[in-house]
């Protein structure tokens, strides 16, 4: 009978709107449905609706916008750079190859179907965006079958409509023009619901000829659809303004009413008049709360009913979202899945958020497709935007069509998820796209591995879809390319370049005569971890172009490899368009060869920064044209280094031991024909006939390569010699290239294959213990100039302090301009993302300024220290001095795990292996609390729907869902807190994951979704009063047996705690005795000592409410003493080392006073046992009461289980009050009570009949309670329990009576504005003594007052609310709701 916090806030806000404001009756401004109809038809619709709609295909045809843009664009310069890749020259020569007949897939945050520039194709080509899909499923709406009945309109009007109750509770009036037909086939799990629905419909038919149709209904909160807090806050602010405006009007009206009341009633007021006056005062108090107080009220936002039906005329599913929130859809057109006719809508004028619909799985899933951010529309604009009348700012391929494949999950702030990624690839295959672009990237543990890579390779090689992706924005250090672009072998990885023209036009930089273009400082750099080049090509990495209408602007500047990648995708679209027009064979292999063979090498960049160079579209087209008949262009050459099972794709020497001696490396080259389809006769014949004679070349003197290679289908292996011993320290790169053999030895054509060699040679160590390494003065003459040093830290070093000082010459003393630098340090470890061992810091250095950066390091592993001048820094030369100081003490073990009761059993050995003193002053603290959860039950492995079928052999993806329960401490339930769900065995793996999904959904005890996490978990805010949490782990794989093995998967719940400090001691004895702590001391070179870490004290653990045996507390420990001075730096390892503590059994509580305050139980042991068994049975029955709604089958099973057990337990215990209470609670369960009000009353009466109220009244009225007398204490306890049972039975009966009465009539007493009391249908009251005879709500509430103050006891607040509602006292209702 309690209100949950969530339910309370929604009820409070909506009730306030209804009772105190007309705003609830004034729909929020909405936008109409949009269809790509003719302009004249659209204008007619505009006039009819008096709204501003738009035609997606002709939005930008107005002369005003065209003239404004065209009048200045040509002199200003293009906002979408294209000169760098010679696109304008190509389109000037071949205007018909502008991307026509090509479709680009944009895998991103989603594209806005209403964005300026994404509306039309050149000429009369049609719509730009031809399809949109939300591959994440974040806005999926499950829809279930309902029956709509035909309702005739007013007599003589000839109008009518279909009518059905929506899930919001609104009555939905459906458009009679919809051709609603029977669903083609009902899903198996809906058959029972349909049969039940048909039965209910038959019972309620008035006549034999009542018309009914089947529809499917769902519901969606608008706030879950919004792509950013910008939109959310804008809508909330506007709703609040309108709400406050209406509040002020009603407040003024109430004040006038109160004034009139006061003047009318000058004498003493009757209780009724006094209460009415008080009610108006309560209303006024709420109406005049003010904006600050109103912010505390939760605004649930718009709530949209969703409908899906089957169109009998077009034989397709159609849907509608009731954005009006009125339920009146009688004139509203429905929407087909977007790809059918490009129909879309807009939610509202304030949000300006456009949407489209998709319908999946035989009409059971409605997908509301919105974008999750502006990024996707911008990416699409670079690739293919078309601005009529302003061609200069078109995208690269303005004639190309676009398909939006949303992979950015709105629930995760637009981060990509594995379901979104794999579904996007599957959809690209299904829709037969030509090229796709992915402008997302992440670090990986293993390159060129995982389910995503496997699926991408199949899509590229078997289905001929070119895949382009950004290299990532993690530079400037080496090996920072991201997945999948820089790590998957069949994806084109694109670096981001900024040209001189871009600097001037896009970034408003002043013109510099000698400025050179370069890759952006942050553009990621190769090689990949396995030696592959990591970067394939370079393209412009910035643009001002399309963004969604919800941003309230037409375009925006963005930069990154996210922008260079769609530029490259647009270039690919131009080439494919030209190939299609000339019947030239098209596949990814030919496109890649053409682009790489003709790219323009940028002199100031190496191959790890630019790949093969800047894309040159005209040259690539000439290459394709020249080689159109060469079947060898279809052959892909796979080059690997080393042997299976883990062959590399290049040679990468980085560690000191790798670069200090000569090496012999085996290289294998094998031709690849498509996707290795051995059942294809043509492909098999090509394999048999294949022979290629190759000339091998390398321009590096330190690489010895054989000259010739005769290659057949099954591949050949040859060896090369690499001698890095005479190379100076630093970066050295070269390529081994294989050319078609020529008798004259020429290698003028394009290479058949290349294999990169990267040598990062460390500076020599002067000593393995030396703590100081001087790098000296580094001169920077140009923007984006980079100095790389490779250092080998001493084995004993654990951190480094890096000192950087500006040492500009005296001639520049008058220049006080700061220079922007990026310091980037990286150490690489096997199977470890570079993010785990990197430090990146931006530095704004003023002349003569010095800065210090401290980083944790791993001794003996090569550290790249990269210092880059910012690309946008002015060209004034300057120099900096760099010094590295190694430090630290080596702990053994490095990671400490303390088990309860085992603290100090293994000391930490601290060793100083450097040549300088280390001051020790250890400290440790625990900051995180982790609890392990097992699933509540074995989960089911089930096949997924139509979006989850792999193209190979139509293999279906399966899903395992396991549920966990987390019960926070009772004190935590009352306040907000954060938790992070973690599955360590699966987390941190995305692109390289061997599973198709890993997600955790967190729900409160009313099954409201609180948050979602994926492969990279983050904290979820748990509101106060959320109760017991349910966590649902979803894992997907194509092999159900692989999922079955994870049925017992442990899930960890992590929370932050206040710091718990740990004591550290000099010896084991001092730790055990807890005497003294580790004294600060100096550890000389080559000396060691020991430290003993104690467990946290019981007092500190006791403050962590809810801590259980087996929980784990985690934190960090550091050993060095921090010090300050001229040297600066942290002088200790940043972040310290990990430490954890496994919580043991609960501590014993202090002894309590054993004096007896309750009489001894004199029953026999048999009687006690009998009562205990009965108590256990009652407790088991209580657990069977359903807390939440279940499906019909499950409800029937639960009902049968409860009934059988109840009958068995009640045999001989028919009058046992706790048993009767459980029976009452079962009948009154929220999931069942609406159908069982009579049963609730009967169950209440059964309890009331067993309680002697007279005896109870005599006890409380005349019995003295002696708290020192055991017998009196025992009796009081029994009477209090009996009184509680009486009050609850009365309360449940009262609520059931109220619900029954409300269905028939309502009795109210009202006060006129002048203060005159007016009775309406006032019932007579009989003073009944037996509660079982009372049969009205008002009478039983009066009777309850004998036993409980329902106004003071919030447990019975629902009764108080009902009583005040009946009395027409909305002010009292709202005041109580606010209190709740």
Place of tokens 């198996």: 188
Distance CA 40, CA 42 (A): 5
Place of tokens 């830290």: 793
| H or E element at residue 469 | strand 466-470
Q: Are 390 and 69 in contact (CB under 8 A)?
A: yes
- Given a cut of 60, is residue 99 above it in pLDDT? yes
What are the tens digits of pLDDT across the range 405-453? 999 999 999 999 999 999 999 999 999 999 999 999 999 999 999 999 9
Give the pLDDT band (50/70/90) at residue 386. very high
- Given a cut of 50, is residue 611 above it in pLDDT? yes
Tell me how many helices (H) and strands (E) the chain has.
32, 61
3-state secondary structure of 414: coil
Beta pairing partners, 1020: 979
Radius of gyration of the chain (CA): 37
Please report, rounded to a whole number, the percentage of residues in the chain having pLDDT higher than 90: 62
- Given a cut of 80, is residue 1129 above it in pLDDT? no
What was the pLDDT predicted at 1109? 94
Average pLDDT of the residues in 96-103: 97
What was the pLDDT predicted at 1324? 38
Give the pLDDT band (50/70/90) at residue 70. very low
Average pLDDT of the residues in 452-474: 96
4-18, 143-157, 591-605, 1188-1202: segment of lowest average pLDDT: 4-18
Place of tokens 């949000």: 351
What was the pLDDT predicted at 1371? 85
What was the pLDDT predicted at 18? 30
Beta pairing partners, 866: 788, 824
Distance CA 164, CA 213 (A): 10
**C-alpha to C-alpha distances, 1345 to 272, 1291, 1296, 1341, nearest whole angstrom:** 19, 11, 18, 7
What was the pLDDT predicted at 645? 74
What was the pLDDT predicted at 1327? 43
- Given a cut of 60, is residue 987 above it in pLDDT? yes
Please report, rounded to a whole number, the percentage of residues in the chain having pLDDT higher than 70: 87
What was the pLDDT predicted at 458? 95
Distance CA 528, CA 945 (A): 36
Q: Are 153 and 160 in contact (CB under 8 A)?
A: yes
Stated pTM of the model? 0.87
Give the pLDDT band (50/70/90) at residue 24. very low
What was the pLDDT predicted at 187? 44
What are the tens digits of pLDDT across the range 680-713? 788 888 889 999 999 999 999 999 999 999 999 9
**C-alpha to C-alpha distances, 1159 to 142, 1151, 1277, nearest whole angstrom:** 59, 20, 11
Give the pLDDT band (50/70/90) at residue 296. low
Mean pLDDT, the chain, rounded, equals 86
Distance CA 826, CA 838 (A): 4
Residues 6+ apart with CB under 8 A from 888: 796, 797, 798, 799, 914, 918, 1120, 1132, 1133
What was the pLDDT predicted at 1322? 42
Distance CA 501, CA 508 (A): 10
Beta pairing partners, 1091: 908
- Given a cut of 90, is residue 995 above it in pLDDT? yes
- Cα separation of the two ends of the chain: 12
Average pLDDT of the residues in 63-92: 71
Q: Which residue from 504, 502, 482 is spatially nearest to 494, judged by alpha carbons?
A: 482
Give the pLDDT band (50/70/90) at residue 818. confident
Q: Are 538 and 526 in contact (CB under 8 A)?
A: no
Residues 6+ apart with CB under 8 A from 1004: 4, 6, 1010, 1022, 1023, 1026, 1027, 1029, 1030
Average pLDDT of the residues in 331-344: 95
Give the pLDDT band (50/70/90) at residue 749. confident
Place of tokens 């592993």: 861
Average pLDDT of the residues in 971-977: 86
Average pLDDT of the residues in 625-636: 92
Q: What are phi and psi of 1372, to 5 degrees?
A: -65, -40
Q: What are phi and psi of 40, to 5 degrees?
A: -65, -40
Give the pLDDT band (50/70/90) at residue 51. very low
- Given a cut of 80, is residue 9 above it in pLDDT? no
Average pLDDT of the residues in 822-843: 96
370-374, 924-928, 988-992, 1320-1324: segment of lowest average pLDDT: 1320-1324
- Given a cut of 50, is residue 376 above it in pLDDT? yes
Q: Is the model more confident about 767 or about 1281?
A: 1281
Q: Give just the sign of the alpha carbon dihedral 375, 377, 381, 384.
A: positive
The DSSP-derived string for 233-254 is: HHHHHHHHHHHHHHHHHHHHHH
Q: What is the DSSP letter of 937?
A: S
- Given a cut of 90, is residue 336 above it in pLDDT? yes
What are the tens digits of pLDDT across the range 150-207? 998 777 666 899 999 999 999 999 999 999 999 996 543 444 454 455 544 444 444 3
| H or E element at residue 280 | helix 271-287
- Given a cut of 60, is residue 1027 above it in pLDDT? yes
Distance CA 1179, CA 1173 (A): 10
| Cα 261 from chain centre | 56
150-154, 235-239, 472-476: segment of lowest average pLDDT: 150-154
Q: Give just the sign of the alpha carbon dihedral 176, 179, 182, 185.
A: negative
- Given a cut of 70, is residue 514 above it in pLDDT? no
What was the pLDDT predicted at 72? 46
Q: Are strands 328-329 and 171-174 parallel, antiparallel or unpaired?
A: parallel
What was the pLDDT predicted at 1354? 82
235-244, 474-483, 774-783, 1189-1198: segment of lowest average pLDDT: 1189-1198
Question: Considering all CA atoms of the chain, what is the largest pairwise distance in Å, rounded to the nearest integer?
Answer: 122
| Cα 369 from chain centre | 16
What was the pLDDT predicted at 19? 33
Q: Which residue from 654, 759, 638, 647 is spatially nearest to 698, judged by alpha carbons?
A: 759
What are the tens digits of pLDDT across the range 646-683? 789 999 999 999 999 999 999 999 999 877 666 678 88
What are the tens digits of pLDDT across the range 516-552? 788 999 999 999 999 999 999 999 999 999 999 999 9
Q: Are 1209 and 1219 in contact (CB under 8 A)?
A: yes
Distance CA 133, CA 131 (A): 7
What was the pLDDT predicted at 40? 30
- Given a cut of 50, is residue 1334 above it in pLDDT? yes
Give the pLDDT band (50/70/90) at residue 1184. confident
What was the pLDDT predicted at 722? 97
Give the pLDDT band (50/70/90) at residue 784. confident
What was the pLDDT predicted at 47? 26
| Cα 1177 from chain centre | 44
């Amino acid at each position: 009978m309690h209100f949950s916090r969530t339910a309370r806030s929604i009820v409070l806000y909506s009730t306030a709107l209804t009772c105190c404001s007309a705003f609830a009756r004034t729909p929020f401004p909405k936008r109409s449905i949009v269809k790509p109809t003719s302009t004249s038809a659209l204008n007619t619709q505009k006039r009819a609706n008096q709204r501003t709609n738009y035609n997606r295909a002709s939005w930008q045809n107005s002369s005003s916008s065209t003239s404004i843009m065209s009048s200045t664009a040509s002199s200003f310069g293009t906002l979408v750079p294209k000169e760098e890749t010679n696109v304008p020259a190509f389109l000037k020569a071949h205007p018909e190859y502008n991307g026509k007949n090509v479709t680009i897939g944009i895998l991103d945050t989603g594209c806005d179907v209403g964005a300026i520039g994404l509306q039309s194709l050149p000429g009369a080509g049609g719509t730009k965006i031809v399809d949109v899909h939300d591959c994440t499923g974040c806005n999926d709406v499950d829809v279930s079958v309902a029956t709509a009945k035909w309702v005739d309109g007013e007599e003589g009007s000839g109008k009518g409509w279909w009518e059905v109750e929506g899930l919001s509770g609104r009555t939905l009036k459906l458009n009679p023009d919809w051709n609603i037909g029977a669903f083609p086939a009902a899903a198996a799990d809906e058959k029972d619901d349909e049969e039940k629905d048909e039965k209910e419909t038959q019972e309620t038919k008035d006549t034999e000829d009542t018309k009914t149709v089947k529809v499917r209904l769902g519901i969606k909160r608008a706030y879950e659809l919004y792509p950013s807090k910008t939109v959310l806050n804008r809508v909330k602010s506007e709703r609040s303004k309108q709400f406050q405006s209406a509040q002020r009007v009603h407040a003024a009206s109430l004040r006038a009413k109160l004034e009139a009341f006061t003047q009318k009633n000058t004498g003493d007021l009757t209780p009724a008049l006094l209460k009415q006056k008080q009610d108006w005062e309560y209303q006024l108090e709420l109406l005049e709360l003010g904006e600050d107080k109103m912010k505390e009220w939760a605004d649930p936002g718009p709530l949209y009913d969703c409908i899906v039906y089957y169109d009998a005329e077009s034989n397709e599913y159609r849907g509608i979202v009731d954005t009006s929130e009125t339920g009146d859809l009688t004139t509203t057109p429905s929407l087909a899945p977007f790809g059918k006719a490009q129909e879309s809508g807009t939610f509202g004028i304030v949000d300006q958020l456009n949407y489209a619909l998709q319908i999946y799985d035989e009409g059971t899933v409605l997908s509301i497709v919105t974008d999750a951010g502006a990024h996707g529309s911008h990416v699409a604009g670079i690739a293919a935007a078309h601005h009529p009348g302003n061609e200069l700012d078109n995208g690269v391929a303005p004639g190309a069509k676009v398909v939006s494949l949303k992979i950015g999950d709105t629930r995760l702030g637009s981060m990509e998820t594995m379901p979104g990624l794999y579904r996007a690839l599957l959809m690209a295959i299904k829709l037969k796209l030509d090229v796709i672009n992915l402008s997302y990237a992440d670090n990986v543990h293993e390159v060129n591995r995982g389910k995503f890579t496997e699926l991408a390779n199949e899509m590229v090689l078997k289905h001929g879809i070119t895949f382009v992706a950004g290299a990532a924005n993690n530079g400037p250090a080496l090996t920072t390319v991201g997945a999948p672009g820089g790590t998957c072998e069949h994806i084109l990885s694109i670096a981001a370049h900024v040209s001189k023209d871009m600097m001037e036009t896009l970034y408003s930089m002043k013109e510099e005569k000698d400025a050179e273009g370069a890759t952006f400082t942050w553009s990621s750099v190769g090689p990949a971890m396995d030696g592959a080049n990591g970067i394939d090509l370079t393209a412009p990495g910035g643009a001002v172009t399309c963004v969604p209408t919800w941003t309230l602007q037409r375009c925006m500047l963005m930069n990154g490899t996210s922008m260079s990648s769609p530029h490259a995708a647009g270039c690919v679209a131009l080439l494919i368009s030209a190939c299609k027009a000339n019947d030239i064979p098209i596949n990814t292999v030919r496109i890649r060869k053409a682009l790489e063979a003709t790219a323009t090498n940028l002199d100031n960049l190496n191959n790890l920064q630019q790949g093969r160079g800047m894309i040159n579209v005209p040259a690539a087209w000439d290459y394709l044209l020249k080689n159109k008949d060469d079947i060898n262009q279809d052959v892909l050459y796979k080059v690997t280094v080393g042997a299976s099972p883990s062959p590399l794709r290049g040679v990468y020497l980085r560690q000191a031991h790798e670069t200090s001696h000569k090496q012999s490396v085996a290289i294998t080259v094998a031709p690849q024909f498509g996707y290795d389809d051995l059942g294809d006769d043509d492909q098999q014949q090509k394999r048999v006939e294949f022979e290629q004679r190759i000339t091998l070349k390398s321009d590096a003197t330190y690489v010895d390569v054989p000259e010739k290679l005769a290659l057949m289908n099954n591949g050949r292996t040859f060896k090369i010699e690499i001698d890095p011993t005479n190379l100076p320290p630093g970066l050295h790169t070269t390529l081994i290239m294989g050319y078609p053999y020529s008798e004259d030895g020429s290698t003028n054509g394009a290479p058949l294959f290349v294999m990169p060699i990267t040598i990062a040679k460390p500076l020599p160590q002067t000593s393995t213990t030396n703590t100081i390494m001087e790098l000296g003065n580094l001169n920077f003459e140009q923007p984006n100039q980079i100095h790389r040093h490779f250092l080998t830290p001493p084995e004993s070093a654990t951190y480094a302090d890096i000192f950087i000082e500006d040492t500009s010459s005296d001639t520049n003393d008058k220049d006080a301009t700061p220079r922007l630098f990026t310091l980037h340090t990286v150490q690489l470890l096997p199977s470890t993302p570079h993010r785990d061992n990197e430090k990146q810091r931006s530095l704004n250095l003023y002349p003569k300024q010095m800065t210090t950066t401290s980083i944790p390091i791993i001794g003996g592993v090569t550290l790249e220290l990269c210092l880059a001048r910012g690309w946008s820094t002015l060209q004034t030369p300057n120099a900096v001095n760099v010094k590295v100081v190694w430090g630290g003490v080596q702990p053994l073990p490095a990671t400490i795990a303390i088990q309860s009761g085992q603290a100090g059993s293994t000391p930490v050995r601290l060793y100083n292996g450097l040549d300088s003193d280390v001051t020790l002053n250890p400290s440790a603290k625990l900051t995180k609390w982790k609890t392990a959860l097992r699933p509540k039950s074995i989960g089911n492995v089930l096949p997924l729907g139509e979006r989850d079928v792999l193209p190979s052999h139509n293999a279906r993806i399966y899903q395992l869902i396991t549920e966990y329960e987390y019960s926070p401490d009772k004190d935590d339930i009352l306040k907000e807190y954060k938790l992070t769900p973690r599955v360590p065995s699966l987390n941190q793996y995305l692109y390289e994951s061997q599973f198709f999904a890993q997600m955790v959904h967190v729900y409160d005890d009313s099954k409201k979704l609180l948050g979602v996490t994926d492969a990279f978990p983050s904290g979820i805010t748990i509101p106060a009063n959320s109760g017991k949490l349910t966590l649902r782990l979803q894992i997907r794989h194509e092999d159900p047996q692989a999922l079955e093995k994870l049925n017992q998967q442990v899930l960890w719940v992590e929370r932050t705690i206040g710091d718990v400090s740990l004591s550290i001691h000099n010896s084991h004895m001092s730790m055990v005795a807890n005497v003294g702590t580790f004294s600060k001391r100096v550890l000389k070179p080559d000396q060691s000592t020991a430290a003993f870490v104690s467990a946290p004290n019981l007092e500190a653990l006791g403050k962590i409410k809810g801590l259980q045996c087996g929980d784990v507390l985690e934190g960090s420990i550091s050993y060095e003493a921090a010090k300050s001075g001229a040297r600066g730096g942290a002088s200790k390892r940043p972040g310290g080392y990990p430490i954890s503590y496994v919580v043991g059994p609960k501590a014993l509580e202090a002894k309590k006073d054993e004096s007896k305050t309750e009489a001894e139980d004199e029953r026999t042991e048999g009687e006690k046992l009998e009562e205990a068994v009965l108590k256990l049975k009652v407790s088991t029955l209580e657990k069977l009461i359903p807390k939440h709604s279940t499906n019909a089958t499950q409800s029937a099973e639960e009902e049968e289980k409860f009934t059988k057990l109840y009958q068995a337990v009640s045999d001989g215990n028919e009058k046992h009050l706790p048993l009767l209470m459980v029976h009452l609670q079962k009948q009154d369960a929220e999931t069942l009570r609406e159908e069982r009000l009579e049963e609730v009353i009967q169950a209440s009466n059964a309890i009331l009949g067993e309680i002697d109220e007279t005896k109870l009244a005599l006890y409380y009225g005349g019995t003295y309670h002696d708290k020192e007398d055991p017998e009196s204490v025992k009796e009081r306890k029994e009477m209090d329990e009996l009184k509680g049972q009486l009050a609850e039975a009365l309360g449940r009966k009262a609520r059931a009576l109220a619900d029954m009465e409300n269905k028939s009539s309502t009795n109210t007493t009202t006060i006129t504005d002048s203060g005159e009391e007016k009775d309406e249908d006032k019932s007579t009251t009989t003073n009944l003594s037996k509660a079982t005879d009372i049969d009205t709500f008002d009478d039983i509430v009066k009777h309850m007052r004998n036993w409980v103050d329902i106004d003071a006891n919030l447990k019975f607040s629902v009764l108080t609310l009902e009583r005040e509602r009946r009395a027409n006292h909305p002010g009292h209702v709202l005041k109580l709701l606010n209190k709740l």
